[in-house]
Amino acid sequence: MIQHSTARSNRIQRVIATPHGELVFGERCLIMGILNVTPDSFSDGGRFAKTHVAVQHAIAMAAAGADVIDIGGESTRPGSVGVSDAEQLARVLPVIRETRISGLTLPISIDTRSAAVAAAALDAGADMVNDVSAARHDPAMAGMLAQSGAAFVAMHMLGTPENMQNQPQYKNVVQNVSAFFEERAAALLAVGVDVANKMIVDPGIGFGKTLAHNLTLLRESSAAFGVRWPVLIGPSRKRFIGDLAGESNPSTHGAAKSNSRLMGTAAAVASCALSGVDMVRVHDVADMVAVIRVCESIAPS
């Protein structure tokens, strides 16, 4: 059972500075808005492939209440194959540049496993790096993070996007993910990354996890990992939500299927907000802003 009284007490007051403003953790659950400029992302592939459409969506998410815009040019859905640096750069750099030219002043995160893409994105106006491999995929990523001093998200993933959902197993998923974060923090610290003040952790919902693993991490991540680092969770529109919402029912299709994912995501986000998670990564920013406002109002201060 979620202990509503711990929503704020689980969050530690922390501030991560970025070139476009501070991320203030501890007061409420922040929102990272998803902007996939890819043709093949699992939920919105192709919708924002054109630069002007992507820029408009970034502006709309900011107006709706997003705290960070997360821009990615490579899908990491289950079974996906990697995209070259050149292709990622062609997709993300025009969007980052035009978004800044448009006047958006929120922090921008670059969602990539590539150090070269991350570095170019930071030069173009991004502020932080969201690496689903936690700087394991590209040997140059750790050094780039140390040199740039950028804030970054280190996510847990079992294997790679191509194979991560091939019967994932853990002795204890919370303990195993916690040990992973400790190992990555030690490795990054050894090359000069400021893991104490710049690192955000993401337990990787759906990245090498069964339904049971996902639910356990949703319940326990704030208490398990939040003492050391801000915790980010990304439940938005994921398959486990569809499974829980009954999408296997033959009568659930079209608009009903889309609505079930939205409502299921809202429930997951509410759980995160009420348990003290620091930030959620979502597609439907306006809806999830409303969810968090209600949850934060309900939870005792």
Paired strand residues for 109: 70, 128
Q: 188 Cβ partners below 8 Å, 6+ apart?
A: 135, 142, 145, 146, 154, 195, 199
pLDDT-based confidence at 299, cuts 50/70/90? confident
Instruction: Using a pLDDT cut of 70, give the percent of the chain over it.
Output: 88
Whether 29 is in a domain gets the answer yes
**Given a cut of 60, is residue 74 above it in pLDDT?**
yes
91 is catalytic: no
Whether 105 is in a domain gets the answer yes
Instruction: Provide the pLDDT for residue 80.
Output: 66
Angle ∠(225,189,171) on CA atoms, nearest 5 = 40
Average pLDDT, stretch 82-94? Answer: 94
Instruction: Provide the pLDDT for residue 77.
Output: 74
Name the residue range of residue 99's domain. 14-157+169-234
Catalytic residue among 11, 28, 77, 281: 281
Whether 4 is in a domain gets the answer no
Instruction: Provide the pLDDT for residue 5.
Output: 43
281 is catalytic: yes
Instruction: Provide the pLDDT for residue 3.
Output: 41
Name the more confident of 2 and 142: 142
**Given a cut of 70, is residue 84 above it in pLDDT?**
yes
Q: Calculate the average pLDDT of the chain.
A: 90
Catalytic residue among 198, 209, 238, 261: 238
> DSSP alpha helices (H): ranges in 108-194?
115-124, 141-148, 173-190
**Given a cut of 50, is residue 1 above it in pLDDT?**
no
Angle ∠(81,83,88) on CA atoms, nearest 5 = 150
Name the more confident of 163 and 121: 121
Whether 299 is in a domain gets the answer no
Average pLDDT, stretch 71-78? Answer: 86
Helices (H) and strands (E) in the chain, counts: 10, 10
**Given a cut of 60, is residue 45 above it in pLDDT?**
no
- Quick: pLDDT tens for 186-227: 999 999 999 999 999 999 999 999 999 999 999 999 999 999
Whether 294 is in a domain gets the answer no
Whether 246 is in a domain gets the answer no
CATH number for the domain harbouring residue 135 = 3.20.20.20
- Quick: pLDDT tens for 232-251: 999 998 889 988 988 765 55
Count of the separate structural domains present in the chain: 1
Instruction: Give the Cα separation of 181 and 228 in Å (integer).
Output: 10
- Quick: pLDDT tens for 155-187: 999 876 666 677 778 999 999 999 999 999 999
Whether 295 is in a domain gets the answer no
What is the three-class DSSP state of 153? strand
Instruction: Provide the pLDDT for residue 23.
Output: 97
Instruction: Using a pLDDT cut of 90, give the percent of the chain over it.
Output: 74
Whether 75 is in a domain gets the answer yes
